[in-house]
Structure 1
Amino acid sequence: MIKGLLFVLRIAIAWFLVVVLAALAWSEIPWLGRFDWPVTVAGILTMALVVAGALSHLARVRLIAGRLDNGALANRQHRQIEIPLEAGEAFDLLDAAIRELPRVEQVESARGSLLVHAKVRRATNQGESPLGRWNPLSWFETPRNQLQATVTASHGGGSVTLICEPATPAWSYWFLLDGGSNFEHAEAITRAVSERVAALRRAEKAAATQTETEKALTVAKLRLLHAQLEPHFLYNTLASAQLLTRSDPPRADEMLGYLIHYLRHSLPRSDDEISTLDAELERAVAYMEILKIRMGPRLAVQVDVPESLRATPLPTMMLQTLVENAIKHGLEPRIGGGTVWIRARRSRDTVAVTVADDGDGFNASTSGTGIGLKNLRERLHLVYGSQATLAVVANFPTGVAATITMPAEFVRESQHV
């Protein structure tokens, strides 16, 4: 209350000095100077309007700001807003927030200098008054405001300097009132910026949640597919081993040994999301050795993986999926069977792992549904992003070659699946 009274007193004193100067000037006019009542009446009316306008300003500011202090009562408002975005992104966000202000006009923005200028017409209730624009109280109000916003790069984001003020010379602040409109504009822009930053954070969180959901879905699909294939493989292997115990016990013992080796590498581990090429190769070789006993001379295997690459990080079951596809869709349908090649090579910062066969190739009747390769591509994207690829091409002269190209080094802290 005291600050409000001091504010009214300051405005009244400024206008009182103007009235006194006007009276002195009037008294110096020949002949008219003898009549002092017009100056007295005009002075009293002026002071009454000034006090009424100042009280109206106080009521408006209290309504907008909920308080009366020097910061809220001032015609000129200054804000320092920290935006946790790169300076260019912060400028785009700020520019959009300013352009959405009601009654904004003459917006001039320069992205190169990170500067925005704008003019804003004041909201007024004069239209509801019988006097309209001739309402004397409107003579003491600023008709338009202006704002300037500058973005500067700061540590970890952009810092915005926002100034909202009347579009009049600085000396007019002693005589004209803005009705709290500049405080309202400064607060509105601050809220708009905060809401836009929060919306970006919500979008980022939603995208992260969606990525986690896609990851979980992909892993679930892989586990479901593996759960569907594993019982059939185990059943067929055990059935073959049972038959061999009667006709060829040594080979039955060999098959069970490979099965134990395969299962040992297939058991879930707490950190089995990222395995190594060596561990995945042992699982795949054990799997193929079992099938070699079942398929006989119809299946041949050639492995060409240098020792220096065997420690390369590789997500689990990827190599196994390619081997299973090569045998199931390439070699098993052929009467004469064929060969599966597993090859790994390094080129600068990437490693390419290829599984090829000389089977039926892209035969529609044996090509399968493609679910395994689709899941494999999704897992590659989730683990490596755009740094890894899966290429499936025709092998020469027959068959298919599938190649995974991935980074040679992998930071475990960044893994996703």
Structure 2
Amino acid sequence: MFSSLFLLARIFLAWSAALVLAGFVWSGLFYGMNRGPGWLFGLLAMLAMVTALLGALTHLRRVWLIAGRLDGATLSSRQQRRIEVPLDADEAFAMVAAAVRELPRSEEVEEGRDSLQVRAKVRRADAGGRKPSRWNLLARLAVERNQVLATVAPGDGTSSVTLLCEPDAPHWVDLFALDEGSNYENAEALMRAIARRVAERRRDERDAAHRKDTDSALAIARLNLLQAQVEPHFLYNTLANAQVLARTDPPRAEQMLGHLIQYLRRSLPREQDGPSTLGEELERVGAYLEILKIRMGSRLAVQVHVPEELKSVPLPSMMLQTLVENAIKHGLEPKPGGGSIWILARRMDDQVTVTVADDGLGFGGNSSGTGIGLKNLRERLRLTYGERASFALVSNFPSGAAATLTLPAPAPAVPAPPPLPQEEPRHV
């Protein structure tokens, strides 16, 4: 209430002072109020005062309808706002510029990306989209537009946005004419637009994080499914071979089942543990190859060249066996005289290569495989390492094939510094 009365008193005093000054000018022109059309000046002065007071009342009514309250902050024709945006300066500037451009009746929008400032002119209009009310005489004649200045101040991960909405006129105009709440409305509209865009940005980030978590969970599920598709494949083949040997050669069947038990002992706990290592996979493959030696006899020769320091390199479970099984099934087993299989590993800079090569039939042999094993291997490799790992399958010389896994090498362990020698206490 006090703010409203103060505003009316300010308008009344400003116009009274202006009319007194105009009266002196009128008296100078017509040699006194009693001479000439003095009554005309009085009529014009009364009309101007009534118009000014009606404009002030219109301003009060409009601000009350827009803000729901009347105080010094809402009644001012020049509005300032400050908001913290959780974005860097460039993103905050783009967001503020878009909000200013979408402000109703905005025009002449100027963007200074280097200075992080946005300027715009906003045509005045009442709630119906028309020009200012007919009671706001000076606003109709002189102040037809407002102006907006938005400044972005960069910070550490956040930005501070300062909004200034004011009439496109000098400050002294505020003594005689009011903006009917248009600048308060513009400031609040910009605040709502920026808040809405920040909320949309946060919602998009939450959705992206949720999708990432979902994709990660799906990737883990797919990895488990792919591994489950690989392990039963070997178990079924081994049990089928043992069943045949049990009828034809029971001692060899018993030996094969013993190696199968060793294989299971090394394999089954890995389903609950963390990632496997190259050394553990070599033990698993060793048990697998011992089973195959029983079946193939002298037709299978195995050579393993893996440095001891590389046996701790992480390797997805069953991946090495997939390569060995592929070499046996498609290269050596169909070959009448059998052949050799090599397992090699070496480190090159920040990568480790694991190669399984054979001198079997190679790509020229007739293969009845579907390729699902290598397809699963590539998929597991992609899900585990992304672009940091690769798989290559090439012809071996003079015959056979060579499959190579290229994996990221773990950082070398830093040796602990030797303990400092302790000096024996001296007795004085």
> TM-score, normalized by length of structure 2?
0.80
Give the corresponding residue for 1:379: 383
What is the DSSP-based 3-state SS (H/G/I as helix, E as strand, rest coil) of the residue aligned with 2:64? helix
Q: How far apart, CA to CA, are the structure 2 residues paired with 1:89 and 1:137?
A: 40
* 8 A Cα contact 2:52 2:137, kept in partner: no
Offset, 1:87? 1.7
Offset, 1:372? 0.3
Structure 1 range deviating more: 262-271 or 4-13:
262-271
The answer to whether 1:221 aligns with 2:222 is yes
Give the corresponding residue for 1:368: 371
Distance change >3 Å, CA 111–CA 389, structure 1 → 2: farther
Q: How does 1:318-333 map to 2 (within 5 A)?
A: 318-332=319-333
Residues 9-56 of structure 1: CA distance to partner in whole angstroms, max 9, x if unpaired? Answer: 223322222222212221222347434322222222222222221222
- The alignment covers a number of residue pairs equal to 403
Q: How far apart, CA to CA, are the structure 1 residues paired with 2:42 and 2:367?
A: 105
Offset, 1:154? 0.9
Give the corresponding residue for 1:161: 162
Q: How far apart, CA to CA, are the structure 2 residues paired with 1:6 and 1:175?
A: 14
Q: How does 1:205-220 map to 2 (within 5 A)?
A: 205-220=206-221
Offset, 1:160? 1.8
Distance change >3 Å, CA 228–CA 391, structure 1 → 2: closer
Give the corresponding residue for 1:66: 68
Give the corresponding residue for 1:16: 16
Residues 309-351 of structure 1: CA distance to partner in whole angstroms, max 9, x if unpaired? Answer: 3323344444444444444455555555554444333333333
Give the corresponding residue for 2:136: 137
What is the DSSP-based 3-state SS (H/G/I as helix, E as strand, rest coil) of the residue aligned with 2:220? helix
Give the corresponding residue for 1:266: 267
* 8 A Cα contact 2:346 2:352, kept in partner: yes
Distance change >3 Å, CA 212–CA 333, structure 1 → 2: farther
Residues 202-227 of structure 1: CA distance to partner in whole angstroms, max 9, x if unpaired? Answer: 22322233233333333333333433
Specify the code of the residue in structure 1 equivalent to 2:380.
L
Structure 1 range deviating more: 90-99 or 367-376:
367-376
Give the corresponding residue for 1:95: 97
Distance change >3 Å, CA 103–CA 366, structure 1 → 2: same
* 8 A Cα contact 1:329 1:368, kept in partner: no
Specify the code of the residue in structure 2 equivalent to 1:29.
L
Give the corresponding residue for 1:278: 279
Q: How far apart, CA to CA, are the structure 1 residues paired with 2:298 and 2:67?
A: 88
Q: How far apart, CA to CA, are the structure 2 residues paired with 1:299 and 1:176?
A: 101
Residues 359-416 of structure 1: CA distance to partner in whole angstroms, max 9, x if unpaired? Answer: 5349885452464034224413xxx454x13132423334242323325249xxxxxx
Q: How far apart, CA to CA, are the structure 2 residues paired with 1:268 and 1:65?
A: 68
* 8 A Cα contact 2:323 2:403, kept in partner: no
What is the DSSP-based 3-state SS (H/G/I as helix, E as strand, rest coil) of the residue aligned with 1:112? coil
> TM-score, normalized by length of structure 1?
0.82
What is the DSSP-based 3-state SS (H/G/I as helix, E as strand, rest coil) of the residue aligned with 1:28? helix
Instruction: Please identify the structure whose Cα radius of gyration is greater.
Output: 2
* 8 A Cα contact 1:333 1:366, kept in partner: no
Q: How far apart, CA to CA, are the structure 2 residues paired with 1:361 and 1:138?
A: 93
Aligned-pair Cα RMSD in Å = 3.3
Offset, 1:166? 1.7
* 8 A Cα contact 2:112 2:118, kept in partner: yes
Give the corresponding residue for 1:6: 6
Structure 1 range deviating more: 269-278 or 29-38:
269-278
Give the corresponding residue for 1:78: 80
What is the DSSP-based 3-state SS (H/G/I as helix, E as strand, rest coil) of the residue aligned with 2:396? coil
The answer to whether 1:230 aligns with 2:234 is no
Percent of paired sites with the same residue: 52
* 8 A Cα contact 1:218 1:378, kept in partner: no
Offset, 1:268? 5.5
Q: Which runs of 5+ in 1 are unaligned?
A: 411-417
Distance change >3 Å, CA 134–CA 5, structure 1 → 2: closer
What is the DSSP-based 3-state SS (H/G/I as helix, E as strand, rest coil) of the residue aligned with 1:353? strand
| Aligned partner (choices 95, 108, 111) of residue 110 of structure 2 | 108
Give the corresponding residue for 1:30: 30
Q: How far apart, CA to CA, are the structure 2 residues paired with 1:191 and 1:357?
A: 69
Distance change >3 Å, CA 347–CA 221, structure 1 → 2: same
Q: How far apart, CA to CA, are the structure 1 residues paired with 2:199 and 2:336?
A: 63
Specify the code of the residue in structure 1 equivalent to 2:27.
S
Specify the code of the residue in structure 2 equivalent to 1:266.
S
